[in-house]
Amino acid sequence: MKRTHGDGQNRSYTLQILVVFTAALAVLSGCRGEGVQSMLDPAGPAAAEISKLWWFMLITGSIVLVITLGLLAAALLRRPRGEEAGPPLGSGRFVVLGGLIGPGIILVVLLILTLRTTISLRTPETTLTIQVIGHRWWWEVRYPEHDIVTANEIHIPNGVPIQLELISADVVHSIWIPRLHGKMDLMPDHATRLWIQSDEPGTYWAQCAEYCGIQHAFMRLSVTAHTEDAFAQWLEDAARPAGAPSTERQQQGLDVFLRACAHCHAISGTAARGRIGPDLTHLSQRLTIGAGRLPNNRGNLYGWISDPQPLKPGNLMPPSLLPSEELEAVVEYLMTLE
């Protein structure tokens, strides 16, 4: 009995496929982050619906893949055709059942479940609308009913549906808060909508999910869900204009800011009204600077204002070229913006 060398090759191919499949499963199983940006860890009703559908699709897809790979392995491991060829594996009925009717039923079931999920994601009655404007590469966040403008942070009351009204100031972006909802594009020419609701107070990280240029990865934002009382307090604090400088040094910082930075940035309660960059009214309360690029602290703020280009190349903010004494005064003043 003669075996062709193709036989051994087929076995090694089968082995390779199984190894790759097992490795892929092992890697993917590590994707479930603990409380990080993971749609597998839903924290709101919309994300929960999407995640249920995702699990169903993964399980169905895995079963189909295992069956298909099994058939492939069976075909590869068979003796080569020749005098010793066995009876054919497939038949007309097998092809119709396994290739047409089976996949047809699976696709129809998936279609029905997808439509069901889509219907369940319709926007419920909301009481608060927040405008989110995508910029390269940061997020402008406005509360039109409360006269609040902030950046790279959305604050919401926990447990109630909130409407986000989305638009872009330049190219197409996409907002993705994986633990609260799926992705939604922000387009320059017409507004889109997305509603979010959280189950628990806490901070949910989000990300631009549509490639929008070299700093796409540093277009992050946070969504903080507050208890009802804490949110009322947040609204009150955020609507307040910035406090006046209380020392000479802070006053010098404000003067330098008005001269050097106010063309692009606004600080409510001062003459700074720029709209090109983020509103900085309550800057020191923010978690990050540069839309998730750095934790917000004095040292990072100093480095950022001095020259943000090495930190986030291509962003619109030029190096400040301020003498260090003036730079320090600006940072001193900005740190007071609570």
List contacts with ligand CUA (CB under 6 A). 134, 137, 173, 208, 210-212, 216, 219
Least distance in angstroms from the C-beta of 93 to ligand CUA: 50
Least distance in angstroms from the C-beta of 150 to ligand CUA: 18
Distance CA 234, CA 242 (A): 14
Pairing of strands 288-289, 162-168: unpaired
At CA 49, angle to CA 43 and CA 55, rounded to 5?
Answer: 100
Token duo for residue 3: 């075996």
Token duo for residue 153: 């942070």
Distance CA 238, CA 250 (A): 21
Nearer to ligand CUA, 219 or 301 (CB): 219
- Asked if residue 251 lies in contact with residue 330, where contact means CB atoms within 8 angstroms, the answer is no
Least distance in angstroms from the C-beta of 50 to ligand CUA: 20
Nearer to ligand CUA, 172 or 230 (CB): 172
Which among 142, 194, 140 is positioned nearest to 170, based on CA atoms?
Answer: 140
Amino acid letter, residue 277:
G
Nearer to ligand CUA, 138 or 234 (CB): 138
Amino acid letter, residue 260:
A
Least distance in angstroms from the C-beta of 102 to ligand CUA: 39
Nearer to ligand CUA, 208 or 261 (CB): 208
Where would I find the H helices in the chain? 5-29, 45-77, 92-96, 102-120, 228-239, 248-260, 298-306, 324-334
Nearer to ligand CUA, 43 or 208 (CB): 208
Q: Cα dist. 27→24, 31, 176, 180 in Å?
A: 5, 7, 23, 24
Nearer to ligand CUA, 169 or 235 (CB): 169
Distance CA 10, CA 73 (A): 9
Least distance in angstroms from the C-beta of 320 to ligand CUA: 25
Least distance in angstroms from the C-beta of 274 to ligand CUA: 21
Least distance in angstroms from the C-beta of 174 to ligand CUA: 7
Nearer to ligand CUA, 209 or 254 (CB): 209
